[in-house]
């Protein structure tokens, strides 16, 4: 039986931690706490730009990070735990066909009404169980990360690296959260170096207990979930 846990602002539920408390060297760019995401504004439930995950997930990420350090690379996490209210807010956004603000970057070849049926967004997400992360690899020393703001140009997320909106990540072939076939992890049409970068991320994450979602190179779920049947709704704060 699945349960939904709602909580007002107070200490994190047992089993959850701030990623920065486990490994402060992992970069965090919490896209849903700001404007640079597929709805173009802060997502409900994100009150602060911090990454929260269950403790086993944080420890596994710390282990991945330790393998990257000798090669002068770091993880950068875009999202971790996601409140159910955030997931719920994607439904009216998908139904509002007048709002196409971010289409060029995030769903250039997709009718937004199809984001659920196409498998890019789910009404019940492993993020809400605290067991999934969206992330990438960044070479060190990390370059400065520009911040997209409303009114800035909206660039196609499928454009080549250097032409789409800047990300200090390794070249993963598309922008983060670009809901397109080019974001499918094993897309064979991508340049060799892009496929190699994705394979490096995928291999390291799998080694430490994660499974990649095949349609999103950035999305990894922790296999041995702490809360496999519970969907939480406390805010990210």
- Give me the active site residues, please: 216
Question: Which residues are paired to 138 by β-bridges?
Answer: 74
For the beta carbon of residue 131, count every other beta carbon within 10 angstroms: 24
- Residue of 93, 2, 77 lying closest to 44 (CA atoms): 93
Q: Computed over its alpha carbons, how large is the radius of gyration of the chain?
A: 17
Tokens of 140: 């060190």
Give the CA angle between residues 47, 50, 54 to the nearest 5°. 110
Which 8-state DSSP code applies to residue 226? S
Distance CA 133, CA 186 (A): 19
For the beta carbon of residue 125, count every other beta carbon within 10 angstroms: 20
Which 8-state DSSP code applies to residue 117? T
């Amino acid at each position: 039986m699945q349960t939904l846990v709602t909580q007002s602002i107070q200490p994190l539920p047992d089993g959850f931690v701030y990623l920065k408390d486990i490994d402060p060297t992992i970069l965090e760019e919490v896209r849903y706490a700001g404007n640079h995401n597929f709805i173009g504004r802060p997502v409900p439930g994100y009150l602060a730009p911090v990454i929260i995950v269950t403790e086993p997930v944080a420890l596994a990420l710390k282990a991945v990070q330790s393998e990257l350090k000798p090669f002068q690379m770091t993880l950068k996490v875009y999202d971790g735990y996601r409140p159910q209210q955030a997931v719920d807010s994607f439904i009216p956004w998908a139904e509002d066909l007048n709002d196409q603000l971010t289409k060029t970057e995030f769903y250039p070849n997709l009718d937004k009404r199809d984001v659920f049926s196409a498998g890019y967004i789910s009404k019940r997400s492993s993020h809400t169980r605290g067991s999934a992360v969206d992330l990438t690899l960044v070479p060190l020393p990390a370059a400065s990360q520009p911040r997209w703001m409303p009114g800035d140009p909206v660039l196609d997320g499928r454009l080549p690296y250097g032409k789409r909106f800047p990300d200090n990540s390794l070249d993963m072939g598309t922008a983060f959260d670009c809901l397109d076939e080019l974001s499918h992890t094993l897309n064979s049409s991508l340049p060799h170096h892009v496929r190699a970068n994705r394979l490096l991320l995928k291999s390291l994450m799998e080694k430490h207990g994660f499974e990649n979602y095949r349609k999103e190179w950035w999305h990894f779920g922790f296999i041995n979930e702490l809360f496999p049947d519970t969907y939480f709704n406390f805010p990210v704060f």
